[in-house]
Structure 1
Amino acid sequence: MKKLAVCAAMLSLVACGGGYDDIDSSRPGGGIGSTVTNPDNNGDNGNNGGNDNNQFSDWKYGSQTEGNNTFSTRATVFSDNTFTVPTEPDFQKRVSVEVQRTAIATGGIAETVTINTVEPVKCTPSCDVVIRFDGVTSRYRMTQASDGVLKPLDKVVEDRLFNQFTTAKEAIVTLPFMSLPQPFEAKFNIKNYDVSKMRLTVEETTAP
């Protein structure tokens, strides 16, 4: 009788349509053969139940090489927020900042900062751009090198901005767009800038 009871139990599982496979696949995260998506790097590892820009940096890195030498590196970060202009109401635009390190012919290294505003700003030929780094507000003299491209006016300002963008955790850049009635505050998560990805490996050579 016991053997008959066990067989009946097994047959009932099969007859119900899948048995253990269905039970396993109904578990959180799926079961055997299911695909589990890894958490996004911009998340908070489940600590706060959503995106937490304080946990991860948004920097994207790139470099230019020649042979075994890396002679130029760059790190780019895009603003967390977007803006629209009246002429393109359905198009979301995003500001970006690029910092670059380049080996120069004299043997030194040039460190530059570029703010790509996408849209022209009220900065002709130069203007004071208000930037708040980690809650501290300062003005930086910049020039609009071309429509939608801001660069520091001189090396002193450039050095200050390069240092701030690569050491602070957050930056808020106030941009007076020509197409908007009010300035736009572009917010950047710049925490955890990785200096190891910005190292140059140019071999120095000397004449005999």
Structure 2
Amino acid sequence: MKKLLAVSLALVLSGCGGGFDDMDAARPGGGIGNTGSDNNSPINPVEKTQWQYSSTSDSSGVFSLRATNYALNFYYDPQFANVKHRPWIQLEKRKSSSGAVTSTVAIFVNSNLSCTPSCKVAMNFDGNRATYEMRNSIDGVLVPINEFTENQLFNKFTTSNSAIVSLPIIGLSQPFDANFDLRGYDIKKMSF
């Protein structure tokens, strides 16, 4: 009887070990003993960028290139408490029929701004803070006051890794600091 019980117990125990192997194999990376490699995973994954690109063309070719970048944060509308706004910047290059290329910068805010007709807006590019003279072109849209400032800002937005733009929104107790991730700007997509 003891021999029969010992053999039965040995058979039962030998049949119990398989369940844990299945659980271990289901772990990310395959679990214990997985020495295989995932040849489909890239060594340098593609960097995710916040930039979005578009263009406009006609029968003579492309005449406008745009790069848009949305802020990483949002603010609540001072007039409508449940409405969120996310500011964005839009850079544009236009080519005239003569071949001349102009660059523009616009910051879309979607709220009334205390910038009439112009104001100094603090901006921080990669930790370097400066103020830039801007004007309220239409309700809720800031543009540089002149061509020199426009060229400066176009360069800053396309060569910096990050920006914080302090937006003078009417109805907020202080300017709203819009944070932008500027990494990954593709100059090829903005070249004619």
> TM > 0.5 between the two?
yes
Q: State the number of aligned residues.
A: 168
Q: Which runs of 4+ in 1 moved over 2 A?
A: 21-25
Q: How does 1:121-140 map to 2 (within 5 A)?
A: 121-140=113-132
CA shift, 1:88, in A, is 1.7
Quick one: which of 177, 183, 192 aligns to 1:191?
183
CA shift, 1:159, in A, is 0.4
| TM-score, length basis structure 1 | 0.70
User: How big is each residue's C-alpha offset from its partner over 1:102-125, in whole Å with a ceiling of 9 and x where there is no partner?
Assistant: 102332101000000111111000
Cα distance in 1, alignment partners of residues 132 and 78 from structure 2: 28
| TM-score, length basis structure 2 | 0.75
Please, which moves more after superposition, 110-119 or 58-67? 58-67
Unaligned runs of 5+ in 2: 1-14, 16-21, 30-43
Show the counterpart of 1:79: 71
Computing the radius of gyration from Cα coordinates, the structure with the larger value is 2
CA shift, 1:145, in A, is 0.6
Q: How does 1:1-208 map to 2 (within 5 A)?
A: 27-28=27-28, 56-67=48-59, 69-200=61-192
AA aligned opposite 2:158:
T
User: How big is each residue's C-alpha offset from its partner over 1:125-160, in whole Å with a ceiling of 9 and x where there is no partner?
Assistant: 001111110111111111101110011111011000
Q: Percent identity?
A: 36
CA shift, 1:87, in A, is 2.3
Cα distance in 2, alignment partners of residues 106 and 132 from structure 1: 36
**Superposed CA RMSD:** 2.9
Show the counterpart of 1:41: none
Cα distance in 2, alignment partners of residues 157 and 23 from structure 1: 60
AA aligned opposite 2:186:
D
Show the counterpart of 2:41: none
AA aligned opposite 1:87:
Q
Unaligned runs of 5+ in 1: 1-11, 13-20, 30-43, 46-54, 201-208
CA shift, 1:22, in A, is 9.8
CA shift, 1:23, in A, is 9.4
User: How big is each residue's C-alpha offset from its partner over 1:62-91, in whole Å with a ceiling of 9 and x where there is no partner?
Assistant: 111224722111000000011002322222
